[in-house]
């Protein structure tokens, strides 16, 4: 009986948040297959985490944005959101000129993914605190909530790698030179070794999140 109740509760919460998420993404202009690949990990993350949190999430989210007890998380969310929006708009405006290497693309080769990772890192740390310091019972455990974020991180690192294979074929030496001068995903961190850059881009954000979680414990 309790299992059935949990499933029903999960379904109700899922439908409620889909009502907000789906229309938003339907309103975005079509940008081709890469838009689908770029948005799917983010959409999946928010669906799973939003469904995991207690039903009081809307009011809790409002209080979270007003209170000063989560300055790091709020900073990550705000910075991540700005980076995602700025990089997306910049790419949309400049992509017709060829390979985009200016603006946010001077700092890292995949600023949109970096923004999404920072945005969801802040939400994940906050969600972990909600699930461990309140009476709210979620569909996911606190550990599973972190796992969802790690899967999203791995998804973006993988998509970035696939995208670079495509860009290397499309732009050849021009993109190879870009690879050798601009970091992969972490600003200021570049080894010029593709595999090592990928590993670092996975480990550093994970260590950042785990540090935030340990501080809360």
Is residue 63's pLDDT more than 60? no
Q: Express each pLDDT in 198-214 by its tens digit.
A: 999 999 999 999 999 99
CB environment 82-117: b (16+ within 10 A), e (fewer): ebbeebbebbeeeeeeeebbeebbeebbbbbbbbbb
Alpha-carbon distances, residue 186 vs 7, 83, 144, 215 (angstroms): 39, 13, 25, 23
Alpha-carbon distances, residue 181 vs 20, 78, 79, 130 (angstroms): 40, 28, 24, 41
Average pLDDT for the chain: 78
Report the distance separating Cα 17 and Cα 207, nearest Å: 29
pLDDT value at residue 173: 93
Domain that holds residue 73: 2-216
Report the distance separating Cα 195 and Cα 2, nearest Å: 46
Q: Which residue has the tokens 């499933």?
A: 7
pLDDT value at residue 9: 59
pLDDT value at residue 52: 63
Alpha-carbon distances, residue 173 vs 79, 157, 184 (angstroms): 33, 22, 17
Question: Distance between alpha carbon 91 and the CA centroid of its chain, in Å?
Answer: 18
Q: Percent of the chain having pLDDT more than 70?
A: 68
Residue 202's φ and ψ, nearest 5 degrees, are -90, -40
Count CB atoms within 10 A of the CB of residue 190: 19
Q: Does this model's pTM top 0.85?
A: no
Is residue 39's pLDDT more than 80? no
Report the distance separating Cα 80 and Cα 121, nearest Å: 9
Which of 39, 45, 65, 49 lies closest to 13, judged by CA? Answer: 49
The number of folded domains in the chain is 1
Q: Express each pLDDT in 24-38 by its tens digit.
A: 443 344 344 445 456
pLDDT value at residue 185: 95
Give just the sign of the alpha carbon dihedral 67, 72, 78, 84: negative
Q: Which of 130-134, 164-168, 172-176, 185-189 has the lowest mean pLDDT?
A: 130-134
pLDDT value at residue 29: 40
């Amino acid at each position: 009986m309790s299992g059935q109740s949990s499933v029903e509760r999960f379904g109700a919460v899922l439908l409620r948040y889909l009502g907000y998420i789906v229309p938003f993404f339907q309103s975005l202009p079509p940008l081709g297959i890469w838009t689908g690949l770029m948005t799917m990990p983010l959409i999946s993350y928010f669906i799973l985490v939003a469904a995991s949190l207690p039903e009081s999430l809307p009011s809790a989210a409002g209080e979270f944005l007003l209170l000063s007890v989560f300055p790091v998380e709020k900073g990550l969310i705000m910075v991540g959101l700005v980076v995602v929006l700025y990089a997306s708009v910049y790419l949309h405006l400049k992509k017709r000129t060829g390979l985009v290497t200016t603006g946010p693309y001077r700092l890292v080769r995949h600023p949109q993914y970096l923004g999404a990772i920072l945005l969801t890192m802040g939400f994940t740390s906050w969600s972990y605190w909600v699930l461990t310091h309140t009476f709210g019972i979620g569909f996911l455990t606190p550990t599973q909530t972190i796992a969802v974020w790690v899967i999203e991180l791995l998804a973006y690192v993988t998509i970035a790698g696939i995208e670079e294979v495509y860009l290397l074929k499309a732009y050849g030496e021009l993109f190879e030179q870009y690879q050798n001068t601009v970091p992969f995903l972490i600003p200021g961190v570049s080894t010029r070794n593709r595999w090592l850059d990928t590993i670092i881009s996975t480990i550093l954000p994970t260590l950042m999140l785990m540090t935030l979680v340990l501080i809360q414990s």
